[in-house]
């Protein structure tokens, strides 16, 4: 099984990568550039370059992942955008463009290429992982001007894909959680659902909660 995980570097992204390695198979990782540091060179993990602002980069990413792993069976997209706190009048246009390119528009480019790739193979699995809902600041606190917009956009994209998946030759699943800090358990839950595969899981949101560990 060959897997691509894409998204912002975050505890959940890292937990998914660790769980994927534990499950076995080939793993490629594509991080949204943060400009802070290079991605970790974990053993057995192929780090791929991705420029979310470029549709050509999205296509190149999928082709490179397939070439390096002799095909791509599964992709997990992890939405965990950085907060952008402050007042609207203080937001620089260049920063707005960069943020929306990386955390909103880039997902649409990548999903387009992944869906085309899986459709051409008449198989595959696309999973979208998002917070349960945007988090809003309390009165008087600095608002997160863009993070909530990014989460809402990603969830809308995921919902559209889930609805359309009934006509797809590949599987589409959505995952969400409101249990912050339960990254390792959430990652294990995601892979448990994916191992089951089959049409009974596709086209649905799977919400994780601590009590879900005791089901079945």
pLDDT at 35 over 70: no
Q: What is the pLDDT of residues 121-142, one digit of tens each?
A: 999 999 999 987 666 656 667 7
- Quote the domain boundaries for residue 59: 2-214
Q: How far apart are CA 210 and CA 189, in angstroms?
A: 10
| Per-residue confidence (pLDDT) for residue 198, from 0 to 100 | 59
Backbone angles phi, psi at 98, to 5 degrees: -65, -40
pLDDT range class, residue 63, cuts 50, 70, 90? very high
Nearest to 3 by CA among 182, 134, 155, 124: 124
What is the C-alpha separation between 66 and 69, in angstroms, rounded? 5
Contacts of 190 (CB under 8 A, 6+ apart): 16, 19, 76, 127, 129, 175, 206, 208
Residue 4 has pLDDT above 60, yes or no: yes
CA–CA dist 145, 9 (Å, integer): 20
What span, in angstroms and rounded, lies between the C-alpha atoms of 108 and 162? Answer: 14
The phi-psi region of residue 43 (left if phi > 0; otherwise alpha if psi is between -120 and 50; otherwise beta) is beta
Q: What is the CATH number of the domain that holds 100?
A: 3.40.50.720
66: helix, strand or coil: helix
45-48 β-sheet, strand order: 45-48, 26-31, 2-7, 74-78, 125-131, 171-177, 205-208
Residue 55's pLDDT is: 96
131: left (phi over 0), alpha (psi -120 to 50) or beta: beta
**pLDDT recorded at residue 37:** 52
Query: Given the structure tokens 């400009």, which residue do they identify?
Result: 35
160 contacts: CB under 8 Å, gap ≥ 6: none
The DSSP code sequence of 75-110 is EEEE--PPP-BS-GGG--HHHHHHHHIIIIIHHHHH
Report residue 12 CA to chain centroid gap.
10
Q: What total number of domains does the chain contain?
A: 1
* Higher per-residue pLDDT: 75 or 177: 75
pLDDT score of 213: 46
Burial of 205: CB neighbours in 10 Å, binned 0-12, 13-18, 19+: middle
Task: Say what the pLDDT of residue 178 is.
Answer: 78
Confidence class for position 215, pLDDT limits 50, 70, 90: very low
């Amino acid at each position: 099984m060959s897997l691509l995980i894409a998204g912002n570097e975050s505890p959940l992204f890292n937990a998914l990568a660790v769980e994927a390695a534990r499950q076995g198979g080939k793993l490629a990782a594509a991080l949204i550039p943060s400009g802070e540091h290079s991605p970790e060179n974990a053993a057995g993990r192929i780090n791929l370059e991705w420029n979310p602002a470029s549709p050509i980069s999205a296509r190149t990413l999928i082709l490179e992942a397939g070439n390096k792993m002799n095909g791509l069976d599964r992709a997990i997209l992890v939405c965990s955008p950085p907060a952008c706190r402050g007042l609207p009048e203080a937001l620089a246009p260049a920063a707005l463009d960069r943020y929306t390119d990386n955390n909103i528009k880039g997902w649409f480019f990548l999903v387009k290429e992944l869906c085309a790739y899986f459709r051409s193979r008449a198989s595959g699995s696309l999973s979208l992982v998002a917070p349960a809902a945007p988090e809003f600041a309390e009165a008087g606190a600095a608002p997160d001007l863009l993070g909530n917009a990014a989460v809402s956009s990603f969830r809308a994209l995921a919902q559209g894909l889930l609805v359309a998946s009934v006509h797809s030759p590949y599987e589409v699943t959505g995952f969400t959680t409101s249990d912050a800090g339960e990254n390792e358990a959430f990652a294990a839950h995601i892979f448990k659902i994916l191992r089951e595969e089959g049409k009974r899981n596709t086209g649905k949101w799977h919400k994780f909660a601590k009590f879900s560990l005791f089901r079945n």
